[in-house]
Amino acid sequence: MNGGGLKLTMDSKNILAVIALGGNAIIREQDRGTIEEQIRNVTNSCDPIIDLIERGFRVVLTHGNGPQVGNSLLKSECAAQIVPPYPLDVCGAETQGLLGYIIQQSFRNRLKERGIDKEIVTVVTQVAVDKEDPAFRNPTKPIGPFYTKERAEQLSKATGAAIVEDSGRGYRRVVPSPKPKTIIERQTIKVLLDNDIIVVAVGGGGIPILEESTGLRGIEAVIDKDYASGVLARELGADYFIILTGVEKVSIDFGKPTQKDLSAISIADAKNYLAAGQFPPGSMGPKIEAAVDFIESGGESAIITSIDKLDEALKGKTGTRIIR
């Protein structure tokens, strides 16, 4: 550490960073979500991460897939009379491949432009969950499109899907969001990293699976990508866990006149803020919890910031660090 930042030197080849890309790095709020927009957004997000790679860091990229899974489910629903609809775990696998392709291509092109000879590959990643996780008894994660009340009732009756009203915007399907236990492809990812390959993994939190006596089985659920990214960072023995999101720093009293931005949060303070409801479950909560879990498991540093401030955050000039 130097002034609270990472030690960014050319001899950093043994340093491993797991970097979780926020959704705004792929689809921005004003976008329609076209493939061209997604490629452009990822390309525009490459350079701060490539700066780390150029300095010798080994990197694993993870990412969200919420809008893409929603689109996949909508396509399945619209075409249900023509082709059999896909279950949610298969939609997750499908979008891991789609987004992996966009990220691989965008990074490879930018690496080549900068004269860096480096391979990048996507691992379609399965993540084990516990069948006794209470999330399966209480689905809370909204996914997919908004429906009218009438259409929601039809869908629920036809498929048994749990439907809830979502913030006055309409009705949406909700699914379980269990906590991740372990990353099935972790050894494969380690081999790739040992061969100096950039890895894209745990897209959208990974494909939720159950480990049963007969083998692995996919299950309809959504795993939070920050929780899964933290588990991956822990299992890989990563030095740094970096969460890139839509804000430069984590705040308490967010959006209020008393808002206070935080440069560093101790584990104890983070837990107290979580208990006080400062970090909601649907936004900053999972990021803070994942960062705390990573540090408690022996990780060196966890940083939360926006992608455009990554370089400054790595130097300790901005961003929020979770510290012991």
Which residues are designated catalytic? 23-24, 141, 225, 287
How many residues can be counted in the chain? 324
CA 183 to chain centre: 14
- 253 to 100, 122, 226, 273, 279: CA distances (angstroms): 36, 38, 22, 10, 9
Check if the beta carbon of residue 17 is closer than 8 Å to that of residue 55. no
Q: Which residues pair with 245 in a beta bridge?
A: 306
Closest CA to 323 of 268, 254, 286, 275: 268
User: What is the DSSP secondary-structure string of 113-181?
Assistant: HTT----EEE---EEEE-TT-GGGTS--EEEEEEE-HHHHHHHHHHH--EEEE-TTS-EEEEE--PPEE
- 184 to 104, 127, 198, 243: CA distances (angstroms): 21, 6, 18, 22
Question: For 278, which DSSP code?
Answer: S
Check if the beta carbon of residue 295 is closer than 8 Å to that of residue 269. no
